[in-house]
Structure 1
């Protein structure tokens, strides 16, 4: 089955448990349609570059999935209809990277950045 990565932003006035509950909810939607969530990460509340629906911050979540295209389309449709979800981004990938995403890694562990010149 194809591999996908999803990032979605939910409203800032949700609690952390409610935001993590959205991850579980959309994971069950995938499971009901023949897919599975390989890994999920809750990135926490982050400040956005611009306001979305009068919100300056949002709960960010990241999902790695293995699902057929109809399951992904159904999950995205439900995400767009859900009142608590503000934005959704889905990309198809060739393979999932092992370990945590770049967002969850410490700056020292990244190692791929050059030092700044003064």
Structure 2
């Protein structure tokens, strides 16, 4: 099955448990349609670059999935209809990276940048 990575932003006035509940809810949508959630991360409340629906902040969540395209389309459709979800981004990847995402790694654990050109 194809591998996907999903990031979605939920409204800032939700509690942390409600935002994590959204991850579980959309994970069950994937599993009901023949897919599975490989990994999920809750990134917390972060400030956005610009306002979305009069909100400056949002709950960010990240999900790695192994699902058929039909399951992903259904999950995205339900996310777009859900009142608490403001934005959705889905990317098809060749393979999932091992370990936590770059958002969850500490600054000193990340790979060093390549040197600048002279």
In structure 2, what is the equivalent of residue 7 of structure 1?
7
Deviation at 1:114, TM superposition (A): 5.1
- Cα deviations across residues 18-44 of structure 1 (Å, max 9, x unaligned)? 000000000000000000000000000
In structure 1, what is the equivalent of residue 89 of structure 2?
89
Deviation at 1:113, TM superposition (A): 2.1
Aligned length: 116
Aligned pair 1:23/2:11, yes or no? Answer: no
Counterparts of 1:1-118 in structure 2 under 5 Å?
1-113=1-113
Gaps of 5+ in 1: none
* Secondary structure at 2:40 match in 1: strand
TM-score when scaled to structure 1? 0.96
**CA–CA distance in 2 between the matches of 1:60 and 1:81?**
18
- Cα deviations across residues 42-96 of structure 1 (Å, max 9, x unaligned)? 0000000000000000000000000000000000000000000000000000000
Which structure 1 residue ranges, 4+ long, deviate > 3 Å from structure 2? none
